[in-house]
Amino acid sequence: MKLSGSRVKARLIAVAAAVVLGLAAVVYHLADYAAGTGVLILAYHRVGDFDSEYAVPVGEFSAQMDYLQHKGYHSITLDQLAEAIETGAGLPPRAVVITFDDGYWDNLTNAYPIVAARGFVMTVFVVPEYIGRYYDFLTWPQVAELVATGRVTIGSHTMDHQPLAELAPGQQAAELVDSKRAIELATGLPCRHFAYPFGSFSQDTLSILAGAGYRTACTGITGLNWQKTSLLLLRRTNIVKSRWGMWDFRARIFYSEVKFAGEKLLSQIF
């Protein structure tokens, strides 16, 4: 029996729809699998109504933290993540690390109360040359206030916010070692964690970081983290001011999950 053109078209549309739905189901299950096996690290800068792409409004940030809590995410420190990668120590389901780059004053006044109210912890990567020098940034007494909460880890973001891959090894060493020393002197605690300014690093950077005594380093590479992730090349999900409300936030996490699931699957095959 010969089908009419309209019936052929209808069947082709039905087949195409079935394929699309099937692929969507596969992608969804990949993301769900990733969320249960990989560790999400969120990368923020500012929280407040500032004229910057990197400033997430207070209400938006609060809704994001509510979303994480509602979805069963458990906030952990970078030391907990490092311990899990190094020794296989267990982590809570849907582990997430909340980080802030640069050390803006609103990390204390706007972000911290929202994070703490949900029982979460956070890491702030500071630039010592900016501390107490520029009005947008934390002062050392404010850094001490964050540390005193017991919920905030202070890490380094270089001494002067430099793109490390563009510097000679000696200059890189100064940025990494001097910032670590300045933070330890100010806080009285070891500085073990680092975030690459502009996501910039080289092979020299990795060697210098290890030699300087850093335990972890966060990149600008999107994805999740698991036991095969290098502690000096941790993946993060960058969160900026949303254009589409919570859909934007959820989409960024979803992309990291799918990318991670694909990479993990390929690593196991090859």
Residue 227's CB is within 10 A of a number of other CB atoms, namely: 11
- Compare 6 and 94 and report the one with higher pLDDT: 94
pLDDT at 186 over 70: yes
Mean pLDDT of the chain: 89
Average the pLDDT over 111-139 and give the result. Answer: 97
SS3 at position 229:
coil
Query: Distances in Å between the alpha carbon of 246 and those of 48, 59, 122, 194, 239?
Result: 16, 11, 21, 28, 11
Sorted by where each begins, the domain ranges of the chain are 10-269
Query: Distances in Å between the alpha carbon of 223 and those of 42, 91, 92, 104, 235?
Result: 10, 18, 19, 25, 5
Whole-prediction pTM: 0.87
**CA pair distance 245, 165, nearest whole angstrom:** 35
Average the pLDDT over 38-56 and give the result. Answer: 97
pLDDT at 16 over 60: no
Query: Distances in Å between the alpha carbon of 159 and those of 45, 184, 191, 244, 249?
Result: 17, 13, 13, 35, 31
Average the pLDDT over 195-201 and give the result. Answer: 98
Residue 196 has what pLDDT? 98
Amino acid 65 reads M
- Compare 270 and 167 and report the one with higher pLDDT: 167
Looking at the domain 10-269, which fold is it?
A: TIM Barrel (3.20.20)
SS3 at position 230:
coil
Query: Residues in the chain, how many?
Result: 270
* Pairing mode of beta strands 40-44, 193-195: unpaired
Residue 268 has what pLDDT? 67
Dihedral of the alpha carbons of 129, 132, 138, 139, in degrees to the nearest 10? 120
What element of type H or E holds 144?
helix 140-148
Q: Tens digit of pLDDT for each residue in 224-242?
A: 999 999 999 999 999 999 9
Average the pLDDT over 194-213 and give the result. Answer: 98
Rg (CA), the chain: 21
SS3 at position 193:
strand
* Pairing mode of beta strands 216-218, 193-195: parallel
Give the burial class of 135: count Cβ atoms within 10 A of its Cβ; 0-12 exposed, 13-18 middle, 19 or more buried.
Answer: exposed
